[in-house]
Amino acid sequence: MSLLLTNIKELLQVREQNILKVSGSEMKELPTIKNAWLLIENDEIADYGSMENIPEINADETIDTSGKIVLPTWCDSHTHIVYAGNREQEFADRINGLSYEEIANRGGGILNSAKTLQETPEDEVYKQSAKRLEEVMKLGTGAVEIKSGYGLTEEAELKMLRVIKKLRENYNLPVKSTFLGAHAIPKEYKNDPDAYMDLVINEILPKVADQKLAEYIDIFCEKGYFSLEDTHRLLDAAKKFGLKPKIHVNQFNAIGGVKAGVEHKALSVDHLEVMNDEDIEALKGSNTMPVALPSCSLFLSIPYTPARRILDADLPLALATDFNPGSTPSGNMNLVVSLACIKMKMTPEEAINAATINGAYAMELSKTHGSITKGKKANFIITKEIPSYTYLPYAFGSNSIESVYINGKMI
Ligand SMILES: [Zn+2]
């Protein structure tokens, strides 16, 4: 099967030579071809160029994309799409004056989601999660990472990870799986959190690894959740099973989680709403991708990740949704890109780089995804007729997407 797109108003993120990520001032550059064509063969990008020099191509199907922009699908490297039920009551409680931490202390928050997940049959969790995955694919997401962490018992954590595995098997996009058993301390362990870490490390982790249910390890390194010491202990244990770290750090407090992540060669450190100079320093020269989650900041009314400080330090930055029932009940990467521009003062070029190639890097997918490059997977978005790519983040709240292709097939 071959598919030819002609008269593309502008083809974005065209990388003749593949790159794995872009950092600092490079992020201001978004290579494009105006008035372009793009040829897809089966599930791969075969060729592209300017309409002025289009060779004779006999494609099985040709689409005229006059007035429309084509770009790689979004790479969402941080989600909690697998969960059961919702927490709109807590949303109302927060409007009525309770803080996220107060709600957590009352047994709400992550523990509330854990209780619901434990009580919901696996098939039902799958059904609810699949619906969300389909929704985000239609919104332009073509690769996604999903975490466990609403189980908090051996049985329920393994259940979540099996659901992630089933999504990967049944849907035509890359799905990366992360074990986040250390997401919150269950009520039963409130007075003995070390015993919960023992359970995660000695009981659940070996089974996750043995059943090949996760590629990555995660922990919520935060005051009131898990300490720096817990973080080192878990990441050391996970290393023996070959699970690379992608960790939650610096959401509410800076307690040294970024440095710990870098020391353990984390693939990414995520959240970063609170950043000290030491955190920025720790990232310099590392292969760890900082990941910002602006729709979480919007929903919780907490500070946004200081993108300008990170980029001005010549570091890379990726953007992801954090789609989850408590702090970000949205998996819309288009909104994330808008918020990055509006609230974090990233340019449209920086935001699109952060949501495509750098997101792919944060899932170890940038050899195959995240740019328009020959031989990469044919994952791309065709927009509606829009005046320019800057219109995408500008018209926040509008759906500018006409169609989404993953592995060469329309969603
Ligand atoms: Zn998260």
Instruction: State in Å: Cα 374 to ligand 1 middle.
Output: 33
Instruction: State in Å: Cα 383 to ligand 1 middle.
Output: 29
Residue with tokens 């300490």: 227
- Which residues are known binding-site members for Fe(3+)? 78, 80, 248, 322
383 and 310 within one domain: no
96 and 12 within one domain: no
Q: Compute CA distances 218 → 91, 118, 271, 356, whole Å.
A: 26, 20, 13, 22
Instruction: State in Å: Cα 146 to ligand 1 middle.
Output: 9
Q: What is the CATH number of the domain that holds 223?
A: 3.20.20.140
pLDDT of residue 105: 78
Residue 162 lies in a domain: yes
Instruction: State in Å: Cα 293 to ligand 1 middle.
Output: 8
- Which residues are known binding-site members for 4-imidazolone-5-propanoate? 87, 150, 183, 251, 327
Instruction: State in Å: Cα 59 to ligand 1 middle.
Output: 43
pLDDT of residue 400: 97
Residue 367 lies in a domain: no
200 and 55 within one domain: no
Residue 11 lies in a domain: yes
- Determine the Cα–Cα distance for residues 37 and 376; give it in Å rounded to an integer: 16
Residue 83 lies in a domain: yes
- Give per-residue pLDDT as tens, 301-318: 999 999 999 999 999 999
pLDDT of residue 110: 84
- Determine the Cα–Cα distance for residues 187 and 110; give it in Å rounded to an integer: 11
Determine what percent of the chain is predicted with pLDDT higher than 70: 100
Q: Report the SS3 class of residue 87.
A: coil
- Determine the Cα–Cα distance for residues 260 and 224; give it in Å rounded to an integer: 18
204 and 104 within one domain: yes
Instruction: State in Å: Cα 1 to ligand 1 middle.
Output: 38
The pTM score is 0.96
Q: Total domain count for the chain?
A: 2
- Give per-residue pLDDT as tens, 165-203: 999 999 999 999 999 999 999 989 989 999 999 999 999
Residues in the chain: 411
Instruction: Using alpha carbons, select from 316, 180, 156, 336 the residue that is nearest to residue 243.
Output: 180
190 and 104 within one domain: yes
Instruction: State in Å: Cα 80 to ligand 1 middle.
Output: 6
Instruction: State in Å: Cα 322 to ligand 1 middle.
Output: 5
267 and 316 within one domain: yes
114 and 25 within one domain: no
Query: CA dihedral in degrees (18, 239, 76, 109; nearest 10)?
Result: -170
Q: Is 363 exposed, middle or buried (0-12, 13-18, 19+ CB in 10 A)?
A: buried
Q: Is 155 exposed, middle or buried (0-12, 13-18, 19+ CB in 10 A)?
A: exposed
66 and 198 within one domain: no
Instruction: State in Å: Cα 76 to ligand 1 middle.
Output: 12
Q: What is the mean pLDDT of the chain?
A: 96
Whether the pLDDT of residue 212 is over 80: the answer is: yes
Task: Identify whether the C-beta of residue 177 lies closer than 8 Å to the C-beta of residue 146.
Answer: yes
Q: Compute CA distances 394 → 122, 140, 305, 323, 397, whole Å.
A: 40, 17, 20, 22, 9
Radius of gyration (Cα) for the chain, nearest Å? 21
Question: pLDDT band for position 108 (50/70/90)?
Answer: confident
Residue 244 lies in a domain: yes
pLDDT of residue 132: 98
Instruction: State in Å: Cα 39 to ligand 1 middle.
Output: 37
- Which residues are known binding-site members for Zn(2+)? 78, 80, 248, 322
pLDDT of residue 2: 97
Instruction: State in Å: Cα 71 to ligand 1 middle.
Output: 26
pLDDT of residue 127: 98
Residue 401 lies in a domain: yes
Question: pLDDT band for position 217 (50/70/90)?
Answer: very high
- 334, containing H or E segment: helix 333-344
124 and 219 within one domain: yes
- 319, containing H or E segment: strand 318-319
Question: pLDDT band for position 160 (50/70/90)?
Answer: very high
Instruction: State in Å: Cα 79 to ligand 1 middle.
Output: 6
- Which residues are known binding-site members for N-formimidoyl-L-glutamate? 150, 324, 326
Instruction: State in Å: Cα 373 to ligand 1 middle.
Output: 30
Residue 295 lies in a domain: yes
320 and 220 within one domain: yes
Q: Report the SS3 class of residue 86.
A: coil
Instruction: State in Å: Cα 270 to ligand 1 middle.
Output: 8
Domain of residue 283: give its range: 75-361
Instruction: Using alpha carbons, select from 253, 287, 296 the residue that is nearest to residue 267.
Output: 287
- Give per-residue pLDDT as tens, 276-308: 999 999 999 999 999 999 999 999 999 999 999
110 and 56 within one domain: no
- Determine the Cα–Cα distance for residues 233 and 348; give it in Å rounded to an integer: 40
- Which residues are known binding-site members? 78, 80, 87, 150, 183, 248, 251, 322, 324, 326-327
Task: Identify whether the C-beta of residue 72 lies closer than 8 Å to the C-beta of residue 379.
Answer: yes
Residue 366 lies in a domain: no
Q: Which amino acid is it at 242?
A: G
259 and 159 within one domain: yes
Q: What is the CATH number of the domain that holds 382?
A: 2.30.40.10
Instruction: State in Å: Cα 127 to ligand 1 middle.
Output: 21
Q: Which of 320, 337, 361 is the last residue of a domain?
A: 361
Task: Identify whether the C-beta of residue 160 lies closer than 8 Å to the C-beta of residue 148.
Answer: yes
Q: Which of 320, 340, 361 is the last residue of a domain?
A: 361
